[in-house]
Structure 1
Amino acid sequence: MKQFIFLSGAAGLFLLLIGSGTGWSAPITFNTALPVAEQEFIFRELFVLDQSGDDPSGAERDRKAFAAVSVLGYGVTRDFALFGVLPYVDKGLDITSMGQRRSRDANGIGDATLFGRYTVIEDNIPGRTFRVAPFVGVELPTGDDEETDAFGRLPPSVQPGSGSADPFAGIVATYQTLDFQVDTQLSYKVNTEANDFELGDIARFDASLQHRLLPATLESGVPGFLYAVLEGNLIYMDQNKNNGIQNPNSGGTTLFLTPGLQYVTRRWIVEGGVQLPVIQDLNGTALEKEYIVLFGFRFNF
């Protein structure tokens, strides 16, 4: 599930899917620099449907993956927060091999992620805040990576887990006003080898704009706010390695655009979006993304 979570945010990312704890808007597909209140928890549940197809290899590959991603964050101090991410995944691959159509699938707990985020810059004036926060973490091999079926061992893209421990780091910045919010993020993830397979390292740049639609003007006693969200995710993935040899039919660059909506209250958020690839410059016969659907909720306590 490593690739699925980090790329979608997802994932992943993946990962980095938590919002603020005070009812502010937040990105759907990546992190924010807004704080988690000291000694408070945030819980987020994100449901992700990932569809890949349009196979240039002639094998008619069709890959579907569903994940229910549970995220728990805790504000250690006003500047430092810790997060844990645990997905449940259901992955399937249909492929034509030697004239036969084969369906291969697996489900179960995926790889868990732990990371910390620390605010290093905070600039506040009435009606506006600007924050910058680096983060660092690791994805742990908690998912099963040795699933088999009647055709033998499942390929890495279908395994619930990766079998490897993979560190990542990045920095996120947030600029928030009463009417809109802008978030940007840079991150890099080092994927390590397991079972003679190594997923390519992943570098990404993310940006999100959240603009308040309703109410049009701020008044006291408003129970919630409706935000329009537009996000961009530029993701570069290095080539995979099999037995130490690079696979020329893997990796490349993808640009996603994600329109979405959020309903925000002081204690909870309901949100949804569709992640659409607008540019895919992939290597060889790498399988293309078609769409990723995201829906979820979050609340703090």
Structure 2
Amino acid sequence: MRRLAIKLLLPFLGATLALAATVMLATPARAQITFPSASPISAGNIAVRVQPLVTEGTEGAQSVTGEGVIIYGASPNLALISENDLVVSNMADVTVGGKAERLAATGLGDSLEEARYTIYQLDGIGSTFRIAPLIGVSVPTGMDNANPAMPRNDQTGSGDWGGKAALTSSWQTLDWDAAAEVSYETHSTAAGYQVGDKLEANAGFYYPLWPKIIESPFEKQLFLSLETNYISETYDRLYGHFMPGTGGQLWLLDPGLMYTGALSSINFTFLLPMMQTTNGPASRYDFGFELELRWSFFTNHHW
């Protein structure tokens, strides 16, 4: 009788352990909100993110972007990342015929396709530290003439190809996570217009508020999120000439909350300017906020 009971229980226990292992493997780390290309991911894991972002500026400037991000763990060291601006709407007060009018450019935005490879990993008791360089290609899927009455830099797409090189790092522990990324982007010239080069430095820290410790992979946790972004852009150029009011420097501080579980999370953060300089007269950044919805799926398809 005991042997029969064990035989009957073995398939159930095996299925339970397999399910638990799948859930634990699919459990996402506290992923970055404002710089998703640095988000850790395990082999076979697919993370799908939808991120609406709203920013407000002076002189009637407003931007609404609906970004879709897919991150795939192609191998234990290789991650493939696709960042797509699915919908972009830029609004500004533009002088037309001597009168100020509120205009909007709405349409598809550009895409950024990236590959990240871990070159160094240090595993400790309950912690993992990684360093991973990244390369990417900006694809001009956006509309560079969504509203002909608006300036080129207010269009929803750049109209040109670009390249990105970055170095990312992440430090995951049982109690908190941290991450950082330094990147440089450059663009080609399209129809005489060239978007300025961009240097960007990002960092984030994530700390559990409640509960401090989870006893099951099915539990959810509330995290405090604090990120920061520094962006330095050179002038845009039109037929080789500098475009006044383009480029400059911006430093943001992003406090937020993350409610994350094994297979999904919802995150919200403010984007608050700490410092800003502009290259000539230009709209200044006032504030922004971003919502992130994330779902994670585990598959056996990886190298």
Same fold (TM over 0.5): yes
The alignment partner of 2:82 has SS state of: strand
> In the aligned structure 1, how far is the partner of 2:253 from the partner of 2:275?
9
Between Structure 1 and Structure 2, how many residues are aligned?
Answer: 272
Q: 1:66 aligns with which of 55, 64, 67?
A: 64
1:49 maps to 54
| 1:142-181 equivalent positions in 2, closer than 5 A | 142-148=141-147, 152-181=148-177
Q: 1:81 aligns with which of 74, 79, 82?
A: 79
> In the aligned structure 2, how far is the partner of 1:158 from the partner of 1:29?
21
| 1:110-259 equivalent positions in 2, closer than 5 A | 110-148=109-147, 152-220=148-216, 223-259=219-255
Q: Deviations over 1:164-183 (max 9, x none)?
A: 00100101111121111111
The alignment partner of 2:205 has SS state of: strand
Range that drifts further, 262-271 or 97-106: 97-106
Task: Tell me how far 1:36 sits from its aligned partner.
Answer: 2.4
Taking a change above 3 Å as real, the CA distance of residues 90 and 32 of structure 1, as seen in their structure-2 partners, is: closer
**Equivalent pair of 2:230/2:249 in contact (CA under 8 Å):** yes
Counting aligned pairs with the same residue, the percent is 29
Task: Tell me how far 1:285 sits from its aligned partner.
Answer: 1.0
Task: Say what the alpha-carbon RMSD is for the aligned residues.
Answer: 1.9
2:20 maps to none
1:263 maps to 259
> In the aligned structure 1, how far is the partner of 2:236 from the partner of 2:26?
37
Range that drifts further, 254-263 or 276-285: 276-285
> In the aligned structure 1, how far is the partner of 2:157 from the partner of 2:74?
29
Q: 2:34 aligns with which of 17, 29, 35?
A: 29
Range that drifts further, 274-283 or 246-255: 246-255
**Equivalent pair of 2:80/2:116 in contact (CA under 8 Å):** yes
Matched residue type, 2:60: D
- Unmatched tracts of structure 2, length 5 or more: 1-24, 298-303
The alignment partner of 2:36 has SS state of: coil
Taking a change above 3 Å as real, the CA distance of residues 39 and 128 of structure 1, as seen in their structure-2 partners, is: closer
Name segments (4+ residues, structure 1) moved above 3 Å: 31-35, 96-99, 217-222
**Equivalent pair of 2:72/2:80 in contact (CA under 8 Å):** yes
Q: Deviations over 1:199-241 (max 9, x none)?
A: 2100011111111111134444661111101111111111111
The alignment partner of 2:286 has SS state of: strand
**Equivalent pair of 1:62/1:95 in contact (CA under 8 Å):** no
The alignment partner of 1:157 has SS state of: helix
Structure label with greater radius of gyration: 2
1:281 maps to 277
The alignment partner of 1:190 has SS state of: strand
> In the aligned structure 2, how far is the partner of 1:289 from the partner of 1:220?
42
Q: Which has the higher helix share?
A: 2
- Unmatched tracts of structure 1, length 5 or more: 1-19, 54-60
| TM-score after normalising by structure 1 | 0.85
